[in-house]
Structure 1
Amino acid sequence: MNGHSEDDLELALRLADLADTISLVRFRATDLRIDTKPDRTPVTDADQAVEEAIRHELAQARPEDSILGEEYGTVGEARRQWIIDPIDGTANYLRGVPVWSTLIALAVDGYPVVGVVSMPAFGRRWWAAIGHGAYTTDRDGAQRGLRVSAVPELADASLAMSGIDRFEQAGRLENYLGLTRRVWRTRDYGDAWPYMMVAEGLVDIAGEFGLQPYDMAALFPIIHEAGGTMTSIDGEEGPWGGSALATNGRLHEAVLATFTVD
């Protein structure tokens, strides 16, 4: 079972239910408190409340496991580590834009094996556990399995890569522009959403630089179980390389080659 069980996935889904309840109440609230962290990124009272609630539940349900969260760092040392982004897309959240999500993952020996992405403002959720498939619920509550596209060539691919400024900062702007010239279509949907579109087969390539493990960990099992491939843009396995590249698998090597620095 790769160090996890169906109970871990069920727990992750319950944690997402809890997070959605808290975040939706504060979304577009007129008294939402917004602060700036030392890295100059925004944080709201909702980010903090969601992570606190998840940590409290994990302390009861999985007291031996470690926790890594965006707002309160790492607690504990264990092979099994829960990785949490309470609100991925805080900049959208505080502006009232509905493209934000809660990301919950369980990693074993550093590799994510359970992942949940919940976008309650859209009424959508995606989840997976290694060996158990990947699934989503639509706004009407219907559940369905996920499968990446079968697009085999870059010329026919839909690309969703975020943060052109980050590609420039990483010294890969020309690589990025070169890739955009080779694909059929380019769009920037933002945050976790384009990766879920890859898992659904709606987009063929998604990626960005300047990420933390909590931005990515929940995405890996979903992409994997939907039949896709996810690494860093430099081809590194797992959510520790500071960047993300998700594809339908067929296109992965071609995109990696585009970003290769001689």
Structure 2
Amino acid sequence: MTDKSSDEQGLSGRARAADAAARAGAAVAAEAFRTDIAVEAKTNATDFVTEADRDAQAAVVTALRERGFEGPVVGEEEADEVVDAVPETGPAWVVDPIDGTNNFVRGVPVWTTSVAAVVDGAAVAGASAAPMLEDVFVADGTAAWLNDQPMAVSERTDPAEFAVAPTLWWGHDRRAEFAAACREIVERFDDLRRFGTVQYSLAAVAMGALEGAITNVRGAPWDTVAGAHLVERAGGTVTDIHGEPWRHDAQGLVASNGEAHDEVLAAARAIEAERPD
């Protein structure tokens, strides 16, 4: 069986597949959590990868194929069936086997396995499983759920009551931007939260635990697509740094509950002002 576009195997089918695949990958990763697992550094001393990342990604791919869904898999870890860019046409899957690997290797239980379905470059379904928190977030083309219950963004309207997360990561040569992100949040809003995982930060916006999550960084699709889709389907707003509708290759990601989005966007733009030319 291949991808279908009928009601039976369309968007709801992809949402069910994303849910099942995220759970499968999360279960594999959870078995290795807080064990003596080998850790490797990728691009820098704190950019980690473990065998759990690779095994969880393989479990996600297997779960998708077992449900009959074909199409490219866009993933963080190199593998035979995995590519590193979202195709502009046709169906594909975007996978982050462990978003928050730094948390994972430190024994911090806030990390997710995230899976998104895209068609012609746009998300149509997504799921993020946070197994150590016993939470699973899922969205199809119309709505979003947390643990099988309808999920919606916060209804707060006053920025003075907002909790906002700086998200993605500013490298050691861009710490002025990280500092600006923290400054803008604490000066404009009530509180700052940093979870160490983009996908969980976006899920937190989707479930109403945060009012915003911001960055001026261009993120990888596996870090962002599922979570951005959750926010939008839960009733929130996601734009790029310019205030345009967000897409997987956009510069910046500004997610909010849709209330006072301009103020959340202004905070993100102030970070951008610190970016080196």
Band of TM-score, shorter chain: 0.7 to 0.9
How high is the TM-score relative to the length of structure 1? Answer: 0.85
Equivalent residue runs for 1:93-132 within 5 Å: 93-131=104-142
Q: Which moved more, 1:243-252 or 1:154-163?
A: 154-163
How high is the TM-score relative to the length of structure 2? Answer: 0.81
Say if 1:125 and 1:171 are closer, same or farther in 2 by CA, change over 3 A.
same
Say if 1:251 and 1:190 are closer, same or farther in 2 by CA, change over 3 A.
farther
The alpha carbon displacement at 1:148 in A equals 1.1
Q: Secondary structure at the match of 1:118?
A: strand
CA root-mean-square deviation: 2.8
Q: Which moved more, 1:166-175 or 1:153-162?
A: 166-175
Say if 1:174 and 1:37 are closer, same or farther in 2 by CA, change over 3 A.
closer
- Tell me the residue number matched to 1:235: 243
Unaligned runs of 5+ in 1: 138-142
Alpha-carbon distance in structure 1 between the residues aligned to 2:167 and 2:268:
15
Aligned residues: 255
The one-letter code sitting in structure 2 at the alignment partner of 1:87 is: I
Equivalent residue runs for 1:80-229 within 5 Å: 80-131=91-142, 133-137=143-147, 143-162=148-167, 165=170, 169=174, 172=177, 173-174=179-180, 177-191=183-197, 192-208=199-215, 209=217, 211-229=219-237
Say if 1:178 and 1:8 are closer, same or farther in 2 by CA, change over 3 A.
closer
Say if 1:259 and 1:27 are closer, same or farther in 2 by CA, change over 3 A.
closer
Alpha-carbon distance in structure 2 between the residues aligned to 1:112 and 1:254:
26
- Tell me the residue number matched to 1:13: 19
- Tell me the residue number matched to 1:252: 261
Alpha-carbon distance in structure 2 between the residues aligned to 1:241 and 1:25:
35
Q: Secondary structure at the match of 2:146?
A: strand
Alpha-carbon distance in structure 2 between the residues aligned to 1:248 and 1:58:
31
Q: 1:35-55, CA deviations, whole angstroms, 9 ceiling, x for partnerless residues?
A: 222465211011001112222
Identity percentage of aligned residues:
27
The one-letter code sitting in structure 2 at the alignment partner of 1:29 is: T
Alpha-carbon distance in structure 1 between the residues aligned to 2:43 and 2:166:
27
Unaligned runs of 5+ in 2: none
Alpha-carbon distance in structure 2 between the residues aligned to 1:65 and 1:218:
17
Say if 1:20 and 1:250 are closer, same or farther in 2 by CA, change over 3 A.
same
The alpha carbon displacement at 1:170 in A equals 8.2
Contact 2:166 2:181 in 1 (8 A): no
Alpha-carbon distance in structure 2 between the residues aligned to 1:175 and 1:28:
31
The one-letter code sitting in structure 1 at the alignment partner of 2:55 is: A
- Tell me the residue number matched to 1:140: none
The one-letter code sitting in structure 2 at the alignment partner of 1:94 is: V
Q: 1:168-193, CA deviations, whole angstroms, 9 ceiling, x for partnerless residues?
A: 82864546523421212222223122
